[in-house]
Structure 1
């Protein structure tokens, strides 16, 4: 994640690595936390971009956060994990919409 390769390039990114680990061990806490961290990082980037009035950049970050959230939902992550991240995403999306 240090190189900011969270979801790109395809097959050579943090999300891909974490999902590969989870395919082998669905209870791997480190991989679960890594995926959650990716969502949080994108949401944080979106908030900062919104504050800087860089709305397209904010929207791009939110799209990436949503992509990861959808991957989590497809893999049937527990609502206790998925729910708060989705709430954080929605709040940031609303903030962006209000700022435009």
Structure 2
């Protein structure tokens, strides 16, 4: 289930596509179970804070991908990934649900 379309030019869609591409390159299939976004701004930057829940079958590859994700380069046209954190990981032995929070800045 994808809560927000992966098509589009907004930061959420671009981040979702970047995550899908990164997972695919690692040999993983992921689904976005929930995507939420809210505007964010500082004195010098404007962007959006995105919270996503990613679902994937449990595997050693998934564990490596998740551990590398906070430092991964996720290219997004017209946007810059300023930070990414894994907030919560739920593993029922078959499926892993990971809550990710990211700060995306407009370029």
Q: Same fold per TM (> 0.5)?
A: no
Which one has a larger percent helix, Structure 1 or Structure 2? Answer: 1
TM-score in terms of structure 1 length? 0.30
Which one has a larger percent strand, Structure 1 or Structure 2? Answer: 2
